[in-house]
Amino acid sequence: MSSIPSAPIVDQIVLVVDNDPAVRASLQFVLEIDGFVVCAFETGEALLACNVLPQKACVIVDFSLPRMNGFELITALHDRGWGAVRIIETPGWGKLNLNRSVAYDE
């Protein structure tokens, strides 16, 4: 399980949620090479268990997560007041679908 670093960098973070350890590690590696601060989580529940969620972030989420799927995670984030977050969906096969993103308008 990953933890989210404290401010000030917390507002410039990418959160990766994927149950496949290879996908999770690959995304984290590539994003960190590009200079992003990345926290990776195996499940949506693990992300939600963090006491402090950044107000500005990008979440890369596998929509095929077991138990709580990606849509349910986004809904839970929105319910916690985190509706303006940028979401990038991965279809569950390790390929990013950059043409489709989900976000809530406040």
Q: Within the chain, how many helices (H) and strands (E) appear?
A: 3, 5
| Residues 83, 104 contacting (CB under 8 angstroms) | yes
Q: Is the pLDDT of residue 80 over 50?
A: yes
The whole-angstrom separation of Cα 62 and Cα 90 is 5
Q: Is the pTM of this model over 0.75?
A: no
Q: How confident is the model at residue 103 (pLDDT cuts 50, 70, 90)?
A: very low
Strand partners, 38: 14
Element containing residue 87 per DSSP (H, E): strand 86-90
Q: Please, what are the domains in the chain?
A: 10-95 (3.40.50.2300)
